[in-house]
Amino acid sequence: MKKDITVFLIMFVILFGIILFLPDSIPIHFNWRGEADIVVHKFFLLIGVIIPYSVYWQFFREKRD
């Protein structure tokens, strides 16, 4: 359990460090003309830490019986 929390926190800290260098507004969706139609604040991307953590949870963590 401690290892799982540690892995999550490491992923969170790495992503947070990367986000500090991004601009405040990030376009995440573009329409057919190439114009950004959905723009979010950079800290919205912290939700993305769930994706690599779920891959870790599924494939790399120790299985318990």
What total number of domains does the chain contain?
1
CB 40 within 8 A of CB 59: no
**54 within some domain:** yes
Global pTM value: 0.68
Beta bridge partners of 26: 40
Range of the domain at 52: 2-60
Q: Could you read off the pLDDT of 7-52 as tens digits, one per residue? A: 889 988 998 999 999 999 999 899 999 999 999 999 988 888 888 8
Whether 7 is covered by a domain: the verdict is yes
Q: Is residue 55 a part of any domain in this protein?
A: yes
**65: in domain:** no
Q: Indicate whether 52 belongs to any domain.
A: yes
Contact present, 46 and 8 (Cβ < 8 Å): no
Whether 24 is in a domain gets the answer yes
Give the number of residues written for the chain: 65
